[in-house]
Amino acid sequence: MSNTRLFQGSITALITPMDQYGEINFEELRHLVEYHIKSGTDAIVSVGTTGESATLSIDENVKTILKTVEFADGRIPVIAGTGANATSEAITMTKLLAGSGVAGCLSVVPYYNKPTQEGMYQHFKAIAESTDLPQILYNVPGRTGCDMLPETVARLAKISNIVGIKEATGDVSRVAKIRELAGEDFIFLSGDDPTGLESMKLGGHGVISVTNNIAAADMAKMCQFALAGKFDEAEEINQRLMALHTDLFVESNPIPVKWAAYKLGLISNPSLRLPLTTLSEQAQPKVIAALKHANLL
């Protein structure tokens, strides 16, 4: 199967379920994997931003990814979140997953230390050269404090196992620019739910989605329609989900989506690791309204 076929459509940025003490609940993780397989989700990102990678230890990161692969049992591709702001740590994480059965890795632009474009290029080049696993770049300036420009993406696209990008700027003009510079075979995945469908209309291959955690079947159908060029049908679903696309970010992700998953009975506890805290009482009605608008409540 080509990388484009493997990494397209509705991909969930999976939450990491936890108990009231902040310990990972692997039994509920198993249930979430089954939910996505039954709902038609195309792939799972395990331990990305939405999976609270920043507050899990390397051991916990790797164990959660390996458990996700085990539970998926070859029925759905699992993409491992392996990003770090230290290149050496990202390489360590990537190497620990060699031969694990992951379909590829999602690696975020280094956060906090704000590298230059050349620093970003060297960072991702070093990671790619340390592994045979396909690498998907992840650009999310709102979290990292710096923006990887399309010209840098194009340089990285020349490295054989750097196969695509999750672009979370919400700037849909990036689709055409990256396709022009990196080639149409380079996978473009939106990391911004509100503009995900628009990016697919312009040639994007899919969405790595937060909304997908709680509206998996709808997101799968929307992306199927979009990939088939049936944009009117896709738009109908997208409009119903638009309040979720926006209001699941009423507080820092994954605070709202974990609370929504709890309200829908997908997880038994909305717990997060500090410094993240449970959705505030004043924000809860907004998420409830979005769930109702999406016909989920």
pLDDT in tens, 268-292: 999 999 999 999 999 999 999 999 9
Catalytic residues: 138, 166
Angle at which helix 87-96 crosses helix 58-72, to 10 degrees, equals 30
For residue 9, the surrounding DSSP H or E stretch is strand 9-13
The answer to whether residues 130 and 84 touch, using CB atoms and an 8 Å cutoff, is no
For the stretch 71-126, pLDDT in tens is 999 999 999 999 999 999 999 999 999 999 999 999 999 999 999 999 999 999 99
Q: What percent of the chain has pLDDT over 70?
A: 98
SS3 188: strand
Mean pLDDT estimate for the chain: 97
Q: Is the pLDDT of residue 237 over 90?
A: yes
Q: Is the pLDDT of residue 27 over 80?
A: yes
Q: Is the pLDDT of residue 138 over 60?
A: yes
Rounded Cα–Cα distance for residues 192 and 288 (Å): 21
Residue 24 is labelled as binding a ligand: no
pLDDT at position 1 is 52
Residue 195 is labelled as binding a ligand: no
Residue type, 57: S
Q: Full-prediction pTM beyond 0.95?
A: yes
Q: Is the pLDDT of residue 3 over 80?
A: no
Centre a 10 Å sphere on the Cβ of residue 157 and count the other Cβ atoms it contains: 21
Closest CA to 219 of 204, 209, 227: 209
Domain residue extents for the chain: 3-241
Question: Cis link prior to 275 (omega < 30° from 0)?
Answer: yes
The residue-averaged pLDDT of 34-59 equals: 97
Instruction: Give residue 140's pLDDT band: very low, low, confident or very high (50, 70, 90).
Output: very high
Rounded Cα–Cα distance for residues 228 and 231 (Å): 8
Instruction: Give residue 223's pLDDT band: very low, low, confident or very high (50, 70, 90).
Output: very high
pLDDT at position 6 is 78
Q: Does the 3-241 domain belong in CATH 3.90.180.10? A: no
The answer to whether residues 204 and 7 touch, using CB atoms and an 8 Å cutoff, is no
pLDDT at position 2 is 59
For the stretch 243-260, pLDDT in tens is 999 999 999 999 999 999
Question: Cis link prior to 254 (omega < 30° from 0)?
Answer: yes
Tell me how far the alpha carbon of residue 248 is from its chain's centroid: 14
